[in-house]
Amino acid sequence: MLRTWSDAPAFLLSCPGPLRRHHAALLPISQLTLPQCLLGGEAQLSAFAASQPSVAARAFFASLPELFGNPHSLALIRRTCGAPPNGPTIVHLRFGGIRSARVLKDARNGLVLAENHTAPAITASNHPFADGLTLPALMRRIFACGPLAHRPAAFGGATLPVTPLPPDLFRADLADLDPAAEPPTGLEIISLAEFRSNAFATGPVRHTSPDLRAATTAAARDGAPFVLLPWNLDHPGSTVPALVERTLHLQTPSQPAVRLLLLPFNYAGPAGLIRRLIRQIREELPNGADYLSGVFIGRLSRLTALPLLRRLARVAWVDGNDPEHDWTARRLAACGFATLLLAADSAPAPEGITSIAVDEALTIDAATRFGTLSFRTHLPSLRALRELLPLTRSLAGPAPKRKKK
């Protein structure tokens, strides 16, 4: 898979994520606990390491690779990794989106990419990385998790070689899970009413959510299922906030049709997008604050806690506008969830995944660190959502009965 890079004495792997969750700037992969190991760049890193045991034995995680920028710190990396001072060059593999690509000086830099920008921004600023298809000049190769509609280039226009990765990479770290094992902690879920930025960034969220206890009790009574809704925080054109608002317009806090469980991924640390969604619900819906205790946000920091999530939710909606939607849908289906792809184009859905045609165009203007970006997206209209809700409930099946104590 790594071809001529396999001689590297050490591999540094990195991805976007909240820095306060890591206790060191450099640590062995075997000691790494990721905040969201189910989706996004963190999950892709985990799956890649599991698929390459020879690499994993020499692999270290760098929470901030650009931090190592002078000869002293670069020499420190080699000593920490056990690499000889004047030996072959270290390899740095970056996971996550193109706009979040980072490089390590004095290394062979590669990007492991699950994004496929079939609908890039229709307008972008003059920032050199605003288009989402330009990589830093030190990037040397792309390792692609699937076909690329638009091939990214290095800054300056240099064409980068692309190495296709095995098509089943999305399940590589799921193979050794024991379905009979008692799941440990590792599933963090709170309601939007309980959300606090600092607690979510530092994590894990340690307290048991009273809102979640109340919702699971009510779900056993009213049959309104939990639905997973992955949210790529690194994609400015995400329709997830609009989809959340539209879904809530079709229900009341006391009589929900479904209970939404957002799964944010590619989360870099600042929680502005989550806070903005909370404000949007408060301001755009009648008595909006009443909805916040019934919309949940969660993440999985240990794959062994996957049975806990499956016990809670059985169906997932995947935003087809997200450039990672193909990898996300395959990943969730492999984890045992009935996955509905809200398809933004006519491309066929991955095998085993149900495609739901969306019927309303929406232009999203996003203020980002690269300036204002505009995206032409598609999402279900209120009429289409009314048809999607009963399908979701039928796939979820009857709510599991609560055990009597």
Give residue-wise pLDDT tens across range 300-334. 988 989 999 999 999 999 999 999 999 999 999 99
Residue 14: predicted pLDDT = 93
Q: 64 or 296, which is more confident?
A: 296
Mean pLDDT of 10-20: 85
Q: What kind and span of H or E run contains 225?
A: none
Three-class SS of 332-401: HHHCCCEEEEEECCCCCCCCCCEEEECCEEEEEEEEECCEEEEEEEEECCHHHHHHHHHHHHHHHCCCCC
Name the residue among 303, 305, 315 with its Cα closest to residue 399: 315
The CB density around residue 371, as the number of other CB atoms within 10 Å, is: 13
Predicted local confidence at residue 185, as pLDDT: 79
Q: Please tell me the predicted confidence (pLDDT) of residue 215.
A: 94
What amino acid is encoded at 76 in this protein? L
Given a cut of 70, whether residue 162 has pLDDT beyond it is: yes
pLDDT at 405: 43
- Is the bond into 28 cis (omega within 30 degrees of 0)? no
Average confidence score pLDDT of the chain: 88
Q: What is the pLDDT of residue 230?
A: 97
More confident residue, 279 or 24: 279
In the predicted model, is pLDDT for residue 365 greater than 70? yes
Q: Which pLDDT band holds residue 183 (cuts at 50, 70, 90)?
A: low
Choose between 23 and 242: higher pLDDT: 242
Give residue 327's pLDDT. 95
The DSSP letter of residue 289 is: G
CA distance 242 to 25: 37
Could you report how far apart the first and last alpha carbons of the chain are, in Å?
A: 52
Q: What is the pLDDT of residue 336?
A: 93
Q: What percent of the chain has pLDDT over 70?
A: 94
Tell me how far apart the alpha carbons of residues 153 and 46 are, in angstroms, rounded to a whole number.
Answer: 26
- Which of 60-74, 206-220, 224-238 is least confident? 60-74
The band of 9, judged by pLDDT with boundaries at 50, 70 and 90, is confident
SS3 116: coil
User: What's the pTM value of the predicted model, to 2 decimals?
Assistant: 0.92
List the structure tokens of 300.
């999985």
Among 338, 334, 262, CA closest to 300: 262
DSSP 146-169: S--SS--EETTSPBPPEEEPPTTG
Using an 8 Å Cβ cutoff, are 300 and 306 in contact? yes
In the numeric block, the tokens 């901030």 are attached to 64
Question: What is the predicted pLDDT for the residue at 21?
Answer: 73
Q: What is the pLDDT of residues 267-281, one digit of tens each?
A: 876 678 999 999 999
Residue 235 CB neighbours (<10 A) = 24
Two tokens at 94? 């970056």
CA–CA distance, 259 with 373 (Å, rounded to integer): 31
Cβ neighbour number for residue 370 with a 10 Å cutoff: 19
Residue 58, pLDDT score: 85
The three-state secondary structure class of 198 is: helix
Would you say 133 and 96 are in contact if contact means Cβ atoms under 8 Å apart?
A: no
Helix (H) or strand (E) holding 280: helix 272-284
Each residue's pLDDT tens digit, 235-260: 999 999 999 999 999 999 999 999 99
Q: Average pLDDT of 144-156?
A: 90
Give pLDDT tens digits for 36-92.
999 999 999 999 999 888 887 788 998 888 888 778 888 888 888 888 887 788 899
Q: Give the C-alpha separation, 62 to 15, whole Å.
A: 8
